[in-house]
A and B are shown apart, each in its own frame.
Chain A
Amino acid sequence: MTMTMGEAAKPARLRPWLAGLRLQDKARDCALLVVPPLITIGLLLLLWQMLCSQPGASLPPPSKVIKDTWQLISDPFFDNGGTDVGLFWQILASLKRVCIGFSLAAVCGVALGVLIGQSSFAYRGLDPIFQVLRTVPPLAWLPISLAAFKDSNPSAIFVIFITAIWPVILNTAVGVRQIPEDYRNVARVLRLNGWEYFFKIMLPASVPYMFTGLRIGVGLSWLAIVAAEMLVGGVGIGFFIWDGWNSSLLSEIILALIYVGIIGFLLDRIIGFFGRLIAGRPI
């Protein structure tokens, strides 16, 4: 009560000053967010520059990386045919594969997760299989999928699929199993049918869990695509890195690694964003 009276009693000429203060607050919050990472990045670059500038250093310093790759950085869109295309196209090719493989994994993963979350028979039958299969390293699937699909592109997509699906299945199943008995009872009293129950109760109640799985899944897919592309070749950031290694273009590899990291980070944030949007609460 005293607080509100104090507010009201403030002289009018203080207000613009307060508004200015609030703007300053915003600027300070922003600076607090941006300045520390800038400082650490600067320090790391400096350290790297010093360590790699000595004679006999086996890796190029950042200044040399930028000089060597300036062409690639400044023109990501060139297309000389074959695998000789700009980084934009390389990354786009990888993202396309991840997008297809991951979407398939998301759909199948949610469906299977709902199945084993809902039915304890399916859970008992499938969970042991899933627990074993999910420990198989992504690349171990590659030879089998190459043999099955007889083509590199679907094989790479399959590797993404099989990598991303496990966390989606398992987290969705946990999400479905944790739906409180009370919500089921509400559905029973209202006599919701299967579809109504699925869309009105099960989906919203387990969506945070699903997105946790999707987030882990997208991270794993991005890890796997780079490795898979190294092996199958073609346009894509993974093969670009492998090609750089074969041609001893260390600077190009370092640039590609930075791009891979940034894209991976963005993928994670995008899934997180959609999760928040759909669930209407932080995940």
Chain B
Amino acid sequence: MRGYLTIEQVGKTFDTQSGKFTALSNVSLAIEKGEFVTIIGHSGCGKSTLLNIVAGLSRATTGAVLLDGVSVDEPGPDRAVVFQNHSLLPWLSAYANVRLAVDKVFGKTKSSAERDEWTKHNLDLVHMNHALHKKPDELSGGMRQRVGIARALAMQPKILLLDEPFGALDALTRAHLQDTVMEIHQATKSTAIMITHDVDEAVLLSNRIVMMTNGPAATIGDICQVGLDRPRRRLEMADSLEYARCRKQVLQFLYERHAKAA
């Protein structure tokens, strides 16, 4: 099993006060270039743990992750992360937050004018060109998340990692951001892994939906291939048989096969 990104037999065990806790075991997945994959599962099953391993922010206890043939063992801008709570630096404007990343990644290869342009271009992609000089606390939650996405895109990563990026947003804002993410994916052909707990979001955005079993020792329970053409339009989905099939498959997995008492 070889892909652009290969997750091979990954397991993660935490040392806690009450002894060892195995969060993940035996997770294997191959992702092709240009694919948009979502990971869905009940809260606490280990989705963030898996994403952090791919990002290099945390080390796998067993197994390995390969990106474009190279083993991943530390974080880097080729695996840009969009964090759940945006994690913009509050003392920098939207522009400066993105520019920090651009300067770091392209400081040696692009001129200052090119970096300025590239920063603005990426903020443009997420429709934030009207608020370049606003600080994060002057922006709404959705706008902050847009800037977070622009910062990640601006690193021109090999793969984009999104950890429940819309989890804290209201339904309408969420829908707008989903549309933006679809536009960007269409335009840049980027490869992405996104964690979500929203079934409709997963079906609308993904090429494949990876469903995780409940922890401890969570692993991949099932994978749903979404056979919908792109570009996808939210409204047309209501009548789509394929959409309904995928939705049902995921719902059944989450609420019948791996229901969680909560």
Contact = CB atoms under 8 A, between A and B. Distances in A.
Interface of A: 180, 182-183, 185-186, 188-192, 196, 200-201, 204-205, 279-281
A188 B104 contact: no
Given A182-B83, A185-B57, A185-B83, A191 B91 contact: no
B80 interface: yes
Pick from B75, B80, B91 the residue with the most CB of A within 10 Å: B91
A190 B100 contact: yes
B104 A190 contact: yes
Interface string B96-134: 000011001100000000000000000000000000000
Nearest to B161: A189
B97 to A, nearest CB: 9
A182 B87 CA distance: 6
Given A191-B104, A192-B104, A200-B100, A186 B87 contact: yes
Contact of A185 (B75, B77, B105): B75
A281 B137 CA distance: 12
Interface string B29-41: 0000000000000
**Overall SS of chain A's interface:** helix
A280 B87 contact: no
Contacts of B57: 185, 188-189
14 contacts: A186-B87, A186-B89, A188-B56, A188-B75, A189-B55, A189-B57, A189-B155, A190-B100, A190-B155, A192-B104, A200-B100, A204-B89, A280-B91, A281-B91
Pick from B74, B77, B100 the residue with the most CB of A within 10 Å: B100
Contacts of A204: 89, 91
Contacts of A185: 57, 75, 81, 83, 87
Which 8 pairs from chain A and chain B are nearest by CB?
Answer: A182-B87, A188-B75, A204-B91, A190-B104, A189-B75, A189-B81, A186-B87, A182-B83
Counting chain B residues whose Cβ lies within 8 A of the other chain, the interface size class is 20 to 34
B89 A191 contact: no
Contacts of A279: 91
Nearest to B78: A189
A192 B81 CA distance: 15
A201 B104 CA distance: 14
Interface string B50-94: 000001110000000000000000111101110101010101000
Nearest to A180: B87
A281 B155 CA distance: 29
B240 to A, nearest CB: 37
A205 B55 CA distance: 24
B161 to A, nearest CB: 9
Given A189-B57, A190-B77, A205-B89, 10 more contacts: A182-B83, A185-B57, A188-B56, A188-B75, A189-B79, A191-B75, A191-B104, A196-B104, A204-B89, A280-B91
Nearest to A208: B91
A189 to B, nearest CB: 5
Nearest to B100: A200
Nearest to B91: A204
Contact of B101 (A180, A190, A280): A190
A186 B85 CA distance: 12
Contacts of B91: 204-205, 279-281
Contact of A183 (B80, B87, B155): B87
A13 to B, nearest CB: 37
Nearest to A191: B76
A23 B105 CA distance: 51
Contact of B105 (A182, A190, A196, A205): A190
A167 B104 CA distance: 35
Contacts of B77: 189-191
A192 B74 CA distance: 13
Pick from A183, A186, A201, A205 the residue with the most CB of B within 10 Å: A186
Pick from A185, A204, A280 the residue with the most CB of B within 10 Å: A185
Nearest to A281: B91
A281 B77 CA distance: 30
A208 to B, nearest CB: 10
Contacts of A205: 89, 91
